[in-house]
Amino acid sequence: MSFRDLLRDTLRTLSAHKLRTALTMFGIAWGIVSITLMVAAGEGLRVGQAKVAEQFAKDVLIIHAGRTSLQAGGVRAGRRLFWEAEDAAFVGEQSPDCRYVLPELGQGNVPVRSSYNSAALNVNGSWPPFQEIRSIPVAEGRYPTWQDEAQGTRVAFIGSDAKKQLFGSRPAMGETLQVGDFPYTIVGVMQHKEQDSSYDGRDISKIFIPFSSMLRDFPNRPPATPQSVDRLLAQPRSIDQHDACKRQVRAALGRKHGFDPRDEEAAGMWDTMEESQAFREMTDGMKYFLGAVGLATLLIGGIGVMNVMLVAVRERTREIGVRKAVGATKRSIVRQFFAETMFVVFLSGGLGLGVAYGLCALVNLIPMPPFFAGLLPTWSSGFLAFLLLGTIAVLSALYPASRAASVDPIEALRTEVGG
């Protein structure tokens, strides 16, 4: 039998059993749609959460000064520590695996007045790379530069919510703010961003000024010294240098302030890279769980497909007998069933993937909540579903067809459907 004849017989047989064919195709397509949507939802949640987490900081170590818990150099434990403004440069020189080491100083509830309104806001000062490692996007103007830092100029970069509170819908660029007792000129406005964590408030509600200006106009209060800072920020040069950067920062601070580098309470670290890894493991677990639920649905669909295919072969036992009686070989009969099954599998599999990806595209047109990136299907999930259901369909057709084709033609012709 030529391929053309095989294809014609396949289409004729499938069209003669429309309901059975439709049920088989529906079982395969539904299973593929189910697992694709399940995995797409899990992937959308993982990507959305990761994007929001990156809005807070990009692979940063946030180092807070604490109290010593280990005796070091003859000094008893329990000593209160304070980081100093000069520590950032010293630690940076001693930590070659750190890309940046920055000081940060902040003060909350500072009275801020514009020509239109007033508020009590957080004022924050650090070096210019702070914008990059803390993921602060610019909507207008610029962030304070190294020139501003060197000259101690009174310039301000304001968060998007701070701008709304102080200026409403009016332009803010170039306007003068009274920050505490000092006039600051606005040189930039932040673009709105979502932020899922913080240690001193959301960035969109802050005023950012040069570190030298912050240290001069808003120094720390006692018992800290006027040169004290709230925290240091360090960023490894790469993921591979992450652990080395942490060790070098602790060792440098230990030398500078006389504590044991193993004393974690003396220099507490918030490691956003470790937090991201833990979160990634959690979201991956959710994705695998949703995939497992989809796989269970897929297997149920596979059982349905198997039952339909088994009934289809049994119903055609007499047909097989007639074919063998007129000279058809076992190989040609099995090939006929294989062609019919593969046609159904590929057609329904393509339809299932098309429907799944189409639904994902339609859902993604709707505005998504901040922590969800939409339905993000993966080709691996669709291929897995297609392969599994296709294998079930082929095996459930070929095995009984092979057995039926081995039966004596006379016995096959005597077979009563349903008996």
Q: DSSP string of 109-164?
A: EEEEE-SS-EEEEEEEEE-TTHHHHTT--EEEE----HHHHHHT--EEEE-HHHHH
**Same domain assignment for residues 364 and 402:** yes
- The last residue of one of the domains, among 265, 295, 327, is 265
What pLDDT, on the 0 to 100 scale, is given for residue 173? 95
Answering whether pTM is above 0.85, one says no
Contact 114, 175 (CB under 8 A): yes
Q: Are residues 163 and 116 in the same domain?
A: yes
Compute, in degrees rounded to 10, the torsion defined by CA atoms 269, 271, 274, 275.
110
Structure confidence at residue 419 (pLDDT): 44
CA distance 103 to 233: 6
**Residues paired with residue 100 on neighbouring β-strands, in sequence order:** 235
State the Cα–Cα distance between residues 62 and 41, nearest whole angstrom.
33
41 and 148 fall within a common domain: no
Q: Is residue 60 situated within a structural domain?
A: no
Residue of 103, 64, 112, 107 whose CA lies nearest to 85: 103
Q: Which domain holds residue 21?
A: 3-54+277-414
For residue 114, CA distances in Å to 118, 171, 316, 347 come to: 6, 12, 86, 66
Residues 187 and 141 sit within 8 Å (Cβ to Cβ): yes
Tell me the pLDDT of the chain (419 aa) as tens digits. 565 655 666 677 667 667 777 877 787 787 778 778 878 887 887 787 777 767 777 789 999 999 998 886 667 788 899 999 999 999 999 999 999 999 999 998 999 999 999 999 999 999 999 999 998 999 999 999 999 999 999 999 999 999 999 999 999 999 999 999 999 999 999 999 887 777 888 899 999 999 999 999 999 888 888 899 999 999 999 888 999 999 999 999 999 998 988 898 999 999 888 777 777 777 777 767 766 776 676 666 666 666 666 666 666 677 777 777 777 777 777 777 777 777 777 788 788 888 988 999 998 888 887 778 888 887 777 677 777 766 776 776 677 667 666 767 766 666 655 54
Decide if 61 is inside a domain: no
7 occurs within a structural domain: yes
Residues 6+ apart with CB under 8 A from 6: 335, 336, 339
Number of domains in the chain: 2
Domain annotation covers residue 21? yes
Task: Assess whether 156 and 71 both reside in one domain.
Answer: yes
Output the six-digit token pair for 410.
Answer: 């006379």
Task: Tell me, yes or no, whether 419 lies in a domain.
Answer: no
Residues 79 and 218 in one domain: yes
Residue 354, domain member (yes or no): yes
E-only strand ranges, 153-211? 155-158, 176-179, 182-190, 206-210
Q: Do both 236 and 166 map to the same domain?
A: yes
Query: Do 289 and 228 sit in the same domain of this protein?
Result: no
Q: Do 83 and 154 belong to one domain?
A: yes
Looking at residue 35, its amino acid is: I
Instruction: Characterise 180 by phi-psi region: left (phi > 0), alpha (psi -120 to 50), beta (else).
Output: left
Inside any domain, residue 284: yes
Query: Is the same domain home to 380 and 315?
Result: yes
Q: Is the separation of the CB atoms in 233 and 61 below 8 Å?
A: yes
HEC profile of 271-317:
EHHHHHHHHHHHHHHHHHHHHHHHHHHHHHHHHHHHHHHHHHHHHCH
Pair 284, 86: CB distance under 8 Å: no
- CA separation for the pair 102, 231 (Å, rounded): 9
Q: How many CB atoms lie within 10 A of CB 240?
A: 9
> Which of 209, 235, 265 is the last residue before a domain boundary?
265
Tell me the C-alpha distance between 348 and 25, whole Å.
5
Nearest Cα to Cα of residue 239 among 131, 345, 99: 99
* Tokens, residue 158: 């304001």
Same domain, 159 and 119: yes
- Does residue 272 sit within a domain? no
Within this chain, do residues 11 and 48 fall inside the same structural domain, yes or no? yes
**Shared domain check, 206 and 311:** no
Q: Which of 244, 265, 286 is the last residue in one of the domains?
A: 265
